[in-house]
């Protein structure tokens, strides 16, 4: 049985205006599995897929100590039904928060969980998964991104917006359709992290 992880603010989460990176270890996959179980129980079949996204999904990468997760739904309007189901779990609903047709939630003080809800066939859903998968399968890309992140955090003076801007060109390069020599296929819900396999499995901002 997995040991319950602590939400120690020195290790997990960021206060407003804070910016720091940690090395991603195996505890992040465990932390995701625990939160995914809570989400599956709350959302049921309304969640077509639940995925670990962002830098904490890539072992060894420097990352902000925030767990990013993506939930796939059938259509944007269906996401409004999920709001009252997520509030009891401690999530705060921030609407689209600058990204059209996204439902965005945060949890924790300091802020430790980011939950992005997208339509399953949307480009935003595909881009997040494509970016993660490319870095998981390319050591060269992961090393480039790690170096860029370390440089950016050292030069941005703690400004998160500036930090994101310094990474934007690399992210666009990796997310571009066909950047790896092929147009990425749509991700199916039949994989190991699909919400439909919750009985047998616990799983850029």
pTM of the model: 0.84
| Residues 69-78 pLDDT 10s | 999 999 999 9
Q: What is the pLDDT of residue 31?
A: 97
What pLDDT is stored for residue 80 in this prediction?
98
What are the structural domains of the chain? 22-178 (3.30.460.10)
- Reported as a pLDDT band with limits 50, 70 and 90, residue 201 is very low
pLDDT at 176: 83
For the beta carbon of residue 86, count every other beta carbon within 10 angstroms. 21
Contact in structure between 204 and 128 (CB atoms under 8 Å):
yes
Confidence band of 55 (pLDDT split at 50, 70, 90): very high
| pLDDT value of residue 198 | 32
Of 54, 61, 78, 52, the residue nearest 25 (C-alpha) = 61
Give the tens place of pLDDT for each residue, 78-136. 999 999 999 999 999 999 999 999 999 999 999 999 999 999 999 999 999 999 999 99
Looking up tokens 């992290």 gives: 193
pLDDT of amino acid 192: 35
Percent of the chain predicted with pLDDT > 90:
79
Question: Would you state the pLDDT for residue 179?
Answer: 66
Those residues whose C-beta lies under 8 Å from the C-beta of residue 43, and which sit 6 or more positions away, are 71, 82, 85, 86, 195
């Amino acid at each position: 049985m997995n040991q319950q992880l602590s939400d120690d603010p020195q290790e997990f989460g960021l206060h407003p205006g804070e910016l720091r990176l940690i090395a991603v270890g195996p505890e992040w996959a465990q932390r995701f599995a625990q939160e995914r179980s809570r989400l599956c129980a709350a959302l049921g079949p309304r969640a077509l897929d639940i995925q670990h996204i962002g830098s904490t999904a890539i072992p060894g990468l420097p990352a902000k100590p925030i767990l990013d997760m993506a939930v796939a739904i059938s259509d944007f309007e269906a996401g409004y039904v999920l709001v009252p189901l997520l509030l009891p779990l401690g999530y705060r609903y921030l609407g689209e928060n600058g990204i059209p047709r996204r439902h965005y939630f945060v949890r924790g003080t300091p802020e430790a969980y980011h939950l992005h809800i997208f339509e399953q066939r949307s480009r935003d859903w595909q881009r997040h998964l494509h970016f993660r998968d490319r870095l998981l399968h390319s050591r060269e890309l992961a090393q480039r991104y790690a170096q860029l992140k370390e440089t950016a955090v050292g030069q941005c003076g703690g400004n998160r917006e500036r930090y994101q801007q310094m990474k934007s060109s690399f992210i666009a390069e990796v997310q571009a359709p066909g950047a790896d020599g092929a147009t990425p296929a749509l991700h199916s819900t039949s994989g190991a992290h699909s919400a439909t396999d919750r009985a047998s499995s616990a799983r850029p901002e």
